[in-house]
């Protein structure tokens, strides 16, 4: 059986990531690991967006671990969820919900921290609880066999993206946005918030506008994307990861 675990976190540096890899080795996992530690700090919505997209490109049977967990050590639950094609592990804070809803939830369990680890840090459940549960699932173990309790699927914390919500800003400064409308090349968008009011053309590719000119495009993540040809749209427009933009077609 092909075994794969994807790991999506807001760690940023490699020290915490290295500790996850050490636990994986200790548990004897012999499959593949895909790591993504670039989610903005504490950004549950951005992490949810990335986990959902990564899962769409993953083979059936993949275990997806998410650790964007600003409530670590509180009374928020840790969960493991079986969907039609995958397993998902992480905090019950909405981080996993878009992906599990998209793939079709089958069963859900609450993780019993003390049954998974003899020693659990109050600030690093990713290392002490979640990665262990992910490895066990990838090794074919049932959640009941490592101390998990079934819960109602309806009890899971939900998160919904807001229209105009910035989901991710990549290293080029391109801005990925949740905008659940048909994106028509050739039309123009009116973009505004408290800081900006701008009219952007929707184009097919970056070079359809002059260098250093702003544009809108259907991005590779299948979202509306704001960019600047050979420039940084986030800096140019002054937009941050937490922003909600007012977006409409120009009449």
The CATH number for 210's domain is 2.40.30.90
Give me the domain span that covers residue 174: 165-249
Q: Mean of the pLDDT values across residues 200-215?
A: 97
β-strand pairing of 78-83 with 87-91: antiparallel
Q: Which of 41, 36, 50, 12 is nearest to 167 (CA)?
A: 50
Contact 110, 148 (CB under 8 A): yes
Q: In whole angstroms, what is the distance from residue 238 CA to residue 240 CA?
A: 7
56 and 93 both lie in a single domain:
yes
160 belongs to a structural domain: no
pTM for this one?
0.95
Model pLDDT, residue 242: 83
Contact 8, 36 (CB under 8 A): yes
Model pLDDT, residue 246: 96
42 and 131 both lie in a single domain:
yes
pLDDT of 193 strictly over 90: no
181 and 216 both lie in a single domain:
yes
pLDDT of 148 strictly over 90: yes
Question: Phi, psi (5° rounding) for residue 34?
Answer: -110, 120
84 belongs to a structural domain: yes
119 belongs to a structural domain: yes
Model pLDDT, residue 1: 67
pLDDT of 195 strictly over 90: no
Contact 60, 67 (CB under 8 A): no
β-strand pairing of 246-249 with 188-192: antiparallel
109 and 191 both lie in a single domain:
no
27 belongs to a structural domain: yes
194 belongs to a structural domain: yes
Burial class (CB within 10 angstroms; exposed 0-12, middle 13-18, buried 19+) of 4: middle
82 and 16 both lie in a single domain:
yes
Which residues does 89 contact at the CB level (< 8 Å), separation at least 6? 63, 64, 65, 66, 78, 79, 80, 81, 96, 111, 130, 133, 134, 137
Q: Which residues on adjacent β-strands are paired with residue 231?
A: 228
Q: What is the domain-level CATH number for residue 39?
A: 3.40.50.10790
Residue pLDDT, tens place only, 84-142:
999 999 999 999 999 999 999 999 999 999 999 999 999 999 999 999 999 999 999 99
Q: What's 130's DSSP letter?
A: I
72 and 95 both lie in a single domain:
yes
85 and 196 both lie in a single domain:
no
Cα–Cα distances in angstroms (integers) from residue 129 to residues 65, 91, 126, in the given order: 11, 10, 6
116 and 177 both lie in a single domain:
no
Concatenating the DSSP letter of every residue in 74-121 gives SSPPEEEEEESS-EEEEESSSTTHHHHHHH-EEEEEE--HHHH-SS--
Q: How many residues does the chain have?
A: 251
127 and 181 both lie in a single domain:
no
> Which of 155, 178, 197 is a domain's end point?
155
Contact 5, 134 (CB under 8 A): yes
151 and 185 both lie in a single domain:
no
Q: What percent of the chain has pLDDT over 90?
A: 96
Sheet bearing 149-151, strands edge to edge:
32-36, 4-9, 63-67, 87-91, 78-83, 105-110, 149-151
146 and 49 both lie in a single domain:
yes
81 and 111 both lie in a single domain:
yes
Q: In whole angstroms, what is the distance from residue 43 CA to residue 243 CA?
A: 12
> Which of 137, 155, 173 is a domain's end point?
155
135: tokens are: 């490895």
């Amino acid at each position: 059986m092909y075994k794969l675990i994807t790991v999506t976190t807001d760690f940023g540096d490699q020290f915490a990531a290295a500790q996850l890899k050490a636990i994986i080795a200790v548990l004897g996992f012999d499959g593949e690991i895909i790591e993504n530690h670039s989610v903005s700090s504490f950004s549950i919505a951005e992490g949810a967006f990335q986990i959902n997209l990564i899962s769409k490109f993953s083979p059936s049977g993949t275990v997806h671990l998410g650790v964007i967990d600003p409530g670590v050590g509180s009374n928020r639950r840790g969960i493991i969820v079986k969907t039609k094609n995958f397993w998902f592990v992480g905090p019950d804070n909405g981080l996993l919900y878009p992906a599990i809803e998209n793939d079709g939830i089958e069963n859900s369990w609450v993780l019993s921290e003390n049954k998974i680890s003899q020693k659990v840090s109050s600030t690093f459940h990713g290392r002490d609880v979640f990665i262990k549960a992910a490895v066990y699932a990838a090794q074919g173990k049932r959640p009941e066999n490592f101390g998990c309790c079934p819960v109602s699927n309806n009890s899971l914390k939900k998160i919904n993206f807001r229209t105009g919500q910035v989901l991710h800003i990549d290293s080029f400064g391109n801005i990925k946005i949740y905008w659940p409308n048909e994106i028509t090349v050739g039309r123009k968008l009116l973009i505004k918030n408290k800081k900006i009011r701008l009219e952007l053309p929707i184009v097919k590719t970056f070079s359809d506008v002059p260098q250093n000119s702003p544009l809108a495009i259907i991005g590779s993540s299948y979202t509306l994307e704001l960019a600047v040809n050979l420039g940084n749209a986030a800096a140019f427009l002054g937009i941050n990861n937490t922003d909600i933009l007012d977006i409409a077609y120009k009449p």
